[in-house]
Structure 1
Amino acid sequence: MSQCRVCGRSVELVLDLGSQPLSDVFPPEPPAAGQEFFYRLQLGRCAGCATVQLLEEVPRERMFGEHYPYRSSGSSVMRTHFSDWAKHLLGTELAGKPDPFVVELGCNDGVMLGTIAEAGVRHLGVEPSGGIARTAEERGVRVLTAYFEKETAAAIAAEDGPADVIYAANTLCHIPYIGSVLDGVSELLTDDGIFVFEDPYLGDVVAATSFDQIYDEHYFLFSATTVAELARRHGLALVDVERLAVHGGEVRYTLAREGKRPASPAVAELVAEEAERRLHDPATLAAFADSVRHNARELIALLTRLREDGHTIAAYGATAKSATVTNFCGIGPELVTTVYDTTPEKQGRVTPGTHIPVSPASAFDAPYPDYALLFAWNHAAEIMARETEFRERGGRWITYVPDVRVL
């Protein structure tokens, strides 16, 4: 039984996805037995505050080291998403302030702060992974290579003063020591400032059975209900929510100091929707777990049948979340020969745990495989628009969200 990172109560098991490797560590070749780090991937629900979280914490240094490969700029959809958000901030929260200051937690390669920097606005990205921090600096972004917590916030405040906006995208859910992070936000934020973060939404994960959103880096699956409780415990209030289509369904949460801003009606509406759906009920989460196991069985049966019939199968998108699928389902090179991906840092390597070779997306070309398993399903529209010839030559896509199907 694990202890909740929000309220300290016990966390009860919802779903066991078995022994899993680090999702974003792609070995140069299949490691010898015992040379690859594994942990137990189990999802649970707090009996007190209902926050959905992992039972086992992977040390942050193992996940977010010097060679962390994910690049936010790798998708044109995400580049537009972050550019639009930065422009929104410049035209609203930051407009008219004499010397505004923006801090981003987990700024990655600087895709959002690059727009802020170009506008001449004072800023700081806090990024623990040295390689991508340097990429952000090359973009003209000022970066502190560190993990953000209360002590970090105090040091930033002492040097730069308080922040008008603190932002995090696909970062807060990665951080088990969330109390220290929220205390740091409270330490650094101006009296009337806002903390905005966007992360995968529990409601969308449950609705779509997107169990690959559960992996080592996604320690929490947030909802409006649980974020409101989390904020309250640290002198903050949830004042706005916005549903986002990116990454398979996210919510952008806006927090402010308690009593400083009125809450948007959207907050009460989403909390009420979650209550109506009984989103946090053990029975709802148990049904989700049953659907996950069903989809996993269906996927492995489909791939096995296609291979037995002599068809060739590759995959598209060496995503972090695909590690959950391949390792839980036991999908290795005997079923899927290659994974094609656009990230240079992953190419020429093998997938975590199951050791499927990773090839450049530019090599996804004739002769095409008969089928392509779409691991990067959250970028399906972008990928299919780019890979039209695959379909024209008779290729078929396979997806497993919300269910297993051949497109």
Structure 2
Amino acid sequence: MLTCRICGASVREFVDFGRQPLSDAFRKPDDTSEEYFFRLAVGACESCAMVQLVEEVPRDRMFHADYPYHSSGSALMREHFGRTAQEFLETELSGDDPFIVEIGCNDGVMLSAVHEAGVRHLGVEPSAGVGEVARSKGVRVLTEFFEDSTARAVRDEHGPADVIFSANTICHIPYLESIFLGVDALLKPDGVFVFEDPYWGDIVERRSFDQIYDEHFYFFTATSVRAAARRYGFDLVDVRRLGVHGGEVRYSIARPEARVPTAAVAELLAEEEARGLVTRETLDGFAAGVAGIRDDLVALLKDLKDRGGRVVAYGATAKSATVTNYCGIGPDLVSKICDSTPAKQGRLAPGSHIPVVPSGEFAEPYPDYALLFAWNHAEEIIAKEPAFRDGGGRWILYVPEVHVVE
């Protein structure tokens, strides 16, 4: 029987994406080593409602010195984290000698603004490569995984934190108990733990199944986050819907005696109950919808190939590993993936082995169709490539359904 990583109750599996590779394991063309695969399946706890992966991938396989994702790669995300830093500076970090810790600071996109403001800070980042990029911006970085022991060491050296922040990281961490123990040890009595991650409600609504891959172990809702927080002696005190990364929620966690939950918490909890986000009917309907997208996308790509259409992909995202491997899409249907990340260029996409090339090759020459894996940045990307559409090129998107943008 599958058991919940949070509360130990039974978990019902509802979708299986089959054998999947590590989503960021882009291979050199001459690499003949055995590729790591795992079963990517998702279940929901029948007690605390936490949606979670069935199988855990060892963390050091995913987050290491060569981890290729850089948060600063998108102008949209740079703006988002700039606003986030400014909000903290004007509110939680406006007192006497404030201190903020970021779990998973990546390349320092948020903390660099905090550093420029002269505020004490520390990024806890296990991936050494992106951590070095953050250091080059003046950000103070500890190259470690955040857990109970790490937090205690940080407090001993720097004192308690006013804010512990994390973006697109807490959902990666199966061992939430150690995270909350660490937060309890490091956070000031009246401090706040703020994290933002993909929202299960948006994933269900948009059928954005590619948000499900090895790094995303949990898929949060206000209901499941509140249950987890209370289990570890905290409470959910605020929520905010965010438009980034295909739909996220920013959760604010504090000690129960420190802050009163806002009206937004009750509103989102009520909305989730009304929508039945983890009912059997909703979850089975999601799985069926995802299977339909797979079938429609493969049928479209095969039809375009049969008619002589040239298709490339845009954005070698972690999400694209789920799409290509679940759908069985390889170089026969999509000749290459154009991407701006140097660490991915000249390599092969995980599992599918589709070649990844610099984004400049997108126009050499333009294809007939472009499969947009980075659909969560569609507006930004399409606006950046007007010559493609002006020349008759068409974008293929698959969220919330397969469609061609004329």
**Bin of the TM-score, shorter chain as denominator length:** over 0.9
SS at match of 1:356: coil
1:203 aligned residue (196, 201, 204) = 201
Q: 1:351 — aligned with what?
A: 349
Q: 1:179 — aligned with what?
A: 177
Mapping for residues 19-58 of structure 1, pairs under 5 Å: 19-29=19-29, 31-32=31-32, 35-58=34-57
Residue 59 to residue 216, structure 1, CA distance change in 2 (3 Å)? same
The one-letter amino acid paired with 1:109 is: D
Q: Deviations over 1:176-235 (max 9, x none)?
A: 011100111111100100000000000000000000000000000000000000100111
Mapping for residues 232-271 of structure 1, pairs under 5 Å: 232-271=230-269
Residue 271 of structure 1, CA deviation: 0.4
Q: 2:77 — aligned with what?
A: 78
SS at match of 2:165: strand
Contact 1:5-1:179 within 8 A present in 2 as well: no
Q: Distance in 1 between matches of 2:2 and 2:126?
A: 26
User: Structure 2: any 5+ residue segments left out of the alignment?
Assistant: none
Q: 2:86 — aligned with what?
A: 87
Q: Distance in 2 between matches of 1:44 and 1:212?
A: 16
Residue 366 of structure 1, CA deviation: 4.3
Q: Distance in 2 between matches of 1:29 and 1:222?
A: 37
1:372 aligned residue (365, 370, 373) = 370
Residue 31 of structure 1, CA deviation: 4.5
SS at match of 1:39: strand
Residue 30 of structure 1, CA deviation: 6.3
Q: 2:310 — aligned with what?
A: 312
Residue 259 of structure 1, CA deviation: 1.9
Q: Distance in 2 between matches of 1:152 and 1:187?
A: 10
Q: Distance in 1 between matches of 2:246 and 2:213?
A: 15
Q: Distance in 1 between matches of 2:96 and 2:257?
A: 24
SS at match of 1:2: coil
SS at match of 1:25: coil
Q: Distance in 1 between matches of 2:325 and 2:387?
A: 30
Mapping for residues 203-242 of structure 1, pairs under 5 Å: 203-242=201-240
Q: 1:273 — aligned with what?
A: 271
SS at match of 1:197: strand
Contact 1:231-1:238 within 8 A present in 2 as well: yes
Q: Distance in 1 between matches of 2:55 and 2:222?
A: 23
**Total equivalences in the alignment:** 405
1:156 aligned residue (154, 166, 180) = 154
Return structure 1 stretches of 4+ with deviation > 4 angstroms: none
Residue 2 of structure 1, CA deviation: 2.7
User: Structure 1: any 5+ residue segments left out of the alignment?
Assistant: none
Residue 29 of structure 1, CA deviation: 1.3
1:338 aligned residue (336, 346, 361) = 336
Q: Deviations over 1:287-340 (max 9, x none)?
A: 000000011000000000100111000000000010000000000000000100
Residue 3 of structure 1, CA deviation: 2.1
Residue 363 of structure 1, CA deviation: 1.6
Contact 1:30-1:350 within 8 A present in 2 as well: no
| Fraction of identical pairs, as percent | 59
Q: Distance in 1 between matches of 2:293 and 2:383?
A: 26
Residue 8 of structure 1, CA deviation: 1.1
Residue 362 of structure 1, CA deviation: 1.6
Residue 100 to residue 244, structure 1, CA distance change in 2 (3 Å)? same
The one-letter amino acid paired with 2:297 is: L
SS at match of 2:79: helix
Q: Deviations over 1:38-86 (max 9, x none)?
A: 0000000112211000000000000001100000000000000000110
* TM-score between the two structures when normalised by the length of structure 1: 0.98
SS at match of 1:328: helix
Q: 1:302 — aligned with what?
A: 300
SS at match of 1:364: helix
Q: 1:63 — aligned with what?
A: 62
Q: Distance in 2 between matches of 1:216 and 1:370?
A: 32
Residue 127 of structure 1, CA deviation: 0.2
Residue 282 of structure 1, CA deviation: 1.5
Q: 1:165 — aligned with what?
A: 163
Q: Distance in 1 between matches of 2:362 and 2:352?
A: 21
